[in-house]
């Protein structure tokens, strides 16, 4: 955008950009490197920055240490929460984009404020409630909690996408005798597919990454990947560096893949989610 | 469009589509957000240790106890300091990077994509990555510092540096957030404005200072606010990297509340901490928004 590219300026921005890329990618590379170093090379000084990769630890962690179980837990919980939040958030977003009603703006703001409160403010009562209903260490508890964090985000993103559905189309459908539910389900939802994908991915990633509720509310059956990783660092971190790094790689893998394959969706959803407050 | 008219009356609400479409969300948010928050307020007025049976209503005693609880004060100072430092650094770096990479060049999509990566990663994993990087025994940072004749340091093990180690990890992960928002604001500036300034022979510095920055100030301020809200509640990174230590040098409020409630099982006291933290936060945001409005008027 800034014109008159003088040579000096090009070199300068080139150096800055290269440094930024190195700073961003090197930690990820070193995590991977640590996970594929053999036991002896890990402790070597000076540390090696290139090794012949040894993937043994990945299999060991995943199968023998039963990490697959927690990985699957994370998948079940994140997908469940995303689906639940999409159902609840999308119906509300439809009402907000298609009808005017008393108290519309205050209600919208109130739902947004709900998202801004630090989650820790509700951690204690939710823990007590979940315990009361015997739902500690179940997938269902985390699914319901994460959905409650994500509903406002879905509302924020989908309201904008629903607004873009032309009024003529929905009005025609009403004239043809469609009920509101059919207009929503048959017409608006399919037309806002991109928005649903974007909102869904964001929810999934946030649910996958959540830590503090999973830490407090699970012990084994519903334990999620981040909790396993954190407790591993706490207990065995300084003994098994390779295993720790491999756990880290397993944990970030799904979000990394989402990011690489669906960048376009994500960035649109993110900027909308963050800015249109 | 206003919905087809729906008469009020018995069962009228149930036939009102607006109500029915909104009901699930409103009920859900009340159940999971509003009621728990109110219950936290109630709990804060009770003395309740989970290891002992029953709770007793003690009024504001928990709050009185907080007034002289040095450990709690330290945690608040830590959280606010961390929030200010981390947000400040990330805002400056993110804005600078966005200004530097917002132009067409070969490999631009690769560059922008890579720079955004860290913000999608699990915070616990980011904590683990930097936990490894900062290790004197196996991490590379001390080795790299040794070329400058410095170190070795154990940044996570020393009370004066542990905070900065966490700030570095947090900056690594969240500078991309500011970068993303500022970049999208920059891409919304019409080319013609910049071209007009160039025709008038304005230097790059003047263009950035006088035209671009004023146009993106709003975005930067909002981005910084959103970032600050998240920075204040930092939990996973500290939990993984230092556990609040060494000593309690990195004990943020969130860590202290977690420990009080789930390690010492003082549910009532931890609830009081939560409420005080929340009130202070709301005040801080209100103050910030007031300043922002003033700045917005200036432009």
Residue range B5-37, pLDDT digits in tens: 444 555 677 778 888 888 899 999 999 988 999
Q: Is B189 on the interface with A (CB under 8 A)?
A: yes
Identify whether residues B208 and B106 lie together within a single domain.
Answer: yes
Identify whether residues A40 and A71 lie together within a single domain.
Answer: no
Closest approach of chain B CAs to the CA of A71, in angstroms? 13
Identify whether residues B73 and B48 lie together within a single domain.
Answer: no
Mean pLDDT over the full length of chain A: 84
The residue among A273 and B199 whose pLDDT is bigger is: B199
For B213-234, the pLDDT digits (tens) are: 888 888 898 889 889 988 988 8
pLDDT for the residue A98: 85
A-B C-beta contacts closer than 8 Å: 274
Q: Model confidence at A88, in pLDDT bands (50, 70, 90)?
A: very high
Q: CA angle A7-B107-A25, nearest 5°?
A: 105
pLDDT for the residue A192: 84
Is the pLDDT at A273 greater than 60, yes or no? no
Q: Does residue B113 form part of some domain? A: yes
Identify whether residues A147 and A187 lie together within a single domain.
Answer: yes
Q: Model confidence at B195, in pLDDT bands (50, 70, 90)?
A: confident
Q: Quick one: what percent of chain A has pLDDT higher than 70?
A: 92
Identify whether residues A253 and A133 lie together within a single domain.
Answer: yes
Q: Model confidence at B2, in pLDDT bands (50, 70, 90)?
A: very low
Identify whether residues A174 and A246 lie together within a single domain.
Answer: yes
Residue range A79-106: average pLDDT? 91
Give chain A's domain count: 2
The residue among A194 and B167 whose pLDDT is bigger is: B167
ipTM over 0.95: no
CATH number at residue A192: 1.10.3720.10
Identify whether residues B255 and B109 lie together within a single domain.
Answer: yes
Q: Model confidence at B82, in pLDDT bands (50, 70, 90)?
A: very high
Print the domain residue range for A194: 57-275
Identify whether residues A129 and A15 lie together within a single domain.
Answer: no
Q: Does residue B3 form part of some domain? A: no
The residue among B167 and B291 whose pLDDT is bigger is: B167
**Contact yes or no for A235/A243 (Cβ under 8 A):** no
Identify whether residues B76 and B48 lie together within a single domain.
Answer: no
Q: Does residue A186 form part of some domain? A: yes
Q: Does residue B38 form part of some domain? A: yes
Identify whether residues B22 and B135 lie together within a single domain.
Answer: no
pTM, two decimal places: 0.87
Q: How many residues does chain B have?
A: 299
Q: What residues in A contact B21, CB-CB < 8 Å?
A: 91-92, 94-95, 180, 184
The residue among B189 and B13 whose pLDDT is bigger is: B189
Mean pLDDT over the full length of chain B: 86
> What distances in angstroms separate CA B42 from CA B37, B46, B116, B255, one per listed residue?
9, 7, 42, 22
Print the domain residue range for B19: 13-57
Q: CA-to-CA distance for B262 and B256, rounded, in angstroms?
A: 10
Q: Model confidence at B176, in pLDDT bands (50, 70, 90)?
A: very high
Q: Is B208 on the interface with A (CB under 8 A)?
A: yes
Q: Does residue B93 form part of some domain? A: yes
Q: Is B139 on the interface with A (CB under 8 A)?
A: yes
In sequence order, the 6+-apart residues with CB closer than 8 A to the CB of A15 are none
Identify whether residues B129 and B245 lie together within a single domain.
Answer: yes
Contact B17 A107 (CB under 8 A): no
In sequence order, the 6+-apart residues with CB closer than 8 A to the CB of A93 are A154, A155, A158, A159, A162
Identify whether residues A190 and A257 lie together within a single domain.
Answer: yes
Identify whether residues B53 and B126 lie together within a single domain.
Answer: no
Identify whether residues B198 and B275 lie together within a single domain.
Answer: yes
Identify whether residues B49 and B75 lie together within a single domain.
Answer: no
Identify whether residues A32 and A94 lie together within a single domain.
Answer: no
Identify whether residues A46 and A111 lie together within a single domain.
Answer: no
Is the pLDDT at A56 greater than 60, yes or no? yes
Identify whether residues A21 and A88 lie together within a single domain.
Answer: no
Is the pLDDT at B296 greater than 90, yes or no? no
Q: Could you identify the residue written with the tokens 């629903």?
A: A162
Identify whether residues A146 and A76 lie together within a single domain.
Answer: yes
Contact A3 B198 (CB under 8 A): yes
Closest approach of chain A CAs to the CA of B253, in angstroms? 10
Which of B115, B122, B177 minimises the CB distance to A252? Answer: B122
Q: CA-to-CA distance for A175 and A164, rounded, in angstroms?
A: 20
Identify whether residues B290 and B268 lie together within a single domain.
Answer: yes
Identify whether residues A210 and A233 lie together within a single domain.
Answer: yes
Identify whether residues B17 and B38 lie together within a single domain.
Answer: yes
Lowest mean pLDDT among A83-92, A259-268, B50-59: A259-268
Q: Does residue A117 form part of some domain? A: yes
Closest approach of chain A CAs to the CA of B159, in angstroms? 19
Identify whether residues A43 and A137 lie together within a single domain.
Answer: no
For A172-183, the pLDDT digits (tens) are: 888 888 888 888
Q: Does residue B1 form part of some domain? A: no
pLDDT for the residue B166: 94
B152 phi, psi to nearest 5 deg = -75, 145
Contact A148 B114 (CB under 8 A): no
Q: CA-to-CA distance for A246 and A259, rounded, in angstroms?
A: 20
Q: Does residue B64 form part of some domain? A: no
Give chain B's domain count: 2
Is the pLDDT at A2 greater than 50, yes or no? no
Identify whether residues B30 and B95 lie together within a single domain.
Answer: no
Residues 7-46 of B with CB under 8 A from A: 17-18, 21-22, 24-26, 28-29, 31-37, 39-40, 43
């Amino acid at each position: 955008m800034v014109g008159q590219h003088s040579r000096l300026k090009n070199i300068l921005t080139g150096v800055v950009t290269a440094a930024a890329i190195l700073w961003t990618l090197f930690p990820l590379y070193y995590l991977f490197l640590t996970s594929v170093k053999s036991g002896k090379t890990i402790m070597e000084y000076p540390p090696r920055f290139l090794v012949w990769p040894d993937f043994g630890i990945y299999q060991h962690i995943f199968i023998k240490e039963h990490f697959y179980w927690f990985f699957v837990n994370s998948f079940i919980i994140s997908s469940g929460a995303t689906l639940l939040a999409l159902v609840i958030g999308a119906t509300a977003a439809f009402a907000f984009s298609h009808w005017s009603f008393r108290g519309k703006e205050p209600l919208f703001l109130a739902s947004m404020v709900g998202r801004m409160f630090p989650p820790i403010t509700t951690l204690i009562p939710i823990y007590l409630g979940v315990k009361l209903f015997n739902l500690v260490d179940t997938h269902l508890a985390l699914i319901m909690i994460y959905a409650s964090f994500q509903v406002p985000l879905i509302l924020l993103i989908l309201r904008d996408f629903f607004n873009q559905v032309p009024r003529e189309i929905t009005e025609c459908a009403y004239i043809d005798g469609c009920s509101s539910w059919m207009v929503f389900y048959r017409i608006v939802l399919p037309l806002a597919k991109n928005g649903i994908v974007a909102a869904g991915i964001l929810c999934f990633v946030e649910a996958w990454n959540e830590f503090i509720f999973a830490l407090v509310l699970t012990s084994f059956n519903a334990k999620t990947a981040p909790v396993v990783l954190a407790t591993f660092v706490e207990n065995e971190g300084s003994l098994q560096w390779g295993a720790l790094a491999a756990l880290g790689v397993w944990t970030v893998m799904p979000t990394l893949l989402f990011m690489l394959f669906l960048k376009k969706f994500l960035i649109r959803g993110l900027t909308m989610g963050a800015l249109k407050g | 469009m206003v919905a087809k008219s729906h008469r009020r009356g018995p069962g009228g609400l149930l036939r009102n589509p607006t109500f029915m479409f909104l009901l699930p969300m409103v009920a859900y948010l009340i159940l999971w957000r509003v009621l728990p928050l109110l219950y936290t307020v109630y709990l804060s007025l009770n003395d309740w240790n989970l290891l002992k049976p029953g709770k007793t209503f003690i009024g504001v005693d928990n709050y009185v106890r907080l007034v002289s609880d040095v450990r709690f004060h330290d945690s608040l100072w830590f959280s606010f300091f961390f929030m200010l430092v981390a947000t400040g650094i990330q805002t400056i770096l993110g804005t600078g990077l966005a200004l530097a990479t917002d132009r067409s060049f070969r490999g631009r999509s690769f560059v922008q994509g890579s720079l955004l990566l860290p913000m999608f990663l699990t915070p616990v994993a980011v904590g683990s990555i930097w936990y490894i990087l900062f290790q004197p025994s196996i991490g590379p940072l001390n080795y790299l510092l040794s070329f400058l004749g410095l170190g070795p340091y154990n940044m996570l093990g020393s009370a004066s540096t542990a905070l900065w180690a966490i700030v570095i990890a947090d900056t690594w992960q969240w500078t991309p957030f500011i970068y993303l928002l500022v970049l999208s604001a920059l891409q919304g500036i019409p080319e013609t404005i910049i071209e007009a300034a160039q025709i008038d022979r304005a230097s790059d510095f003047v263009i950035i200072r006088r035209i671009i920055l004023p146009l993106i100030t709003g975005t930067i301020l909002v981005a910084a606010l959103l970032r600050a809200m998240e920075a204040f509640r930092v939990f996973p990174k500290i939990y993984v990297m230092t556990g609040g230590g060494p000593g309690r040098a990195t004990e943020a409020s969130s860590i202290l509340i977690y420990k009080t409630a789930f390690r010492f099982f003082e549910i009532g006291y931890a609830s009081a901490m939560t409420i005080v933290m929340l009130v202070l936060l709301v005040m801080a945001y209100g103050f910030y928004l007031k300043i922002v409005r003033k700045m917005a008027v200036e432009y």
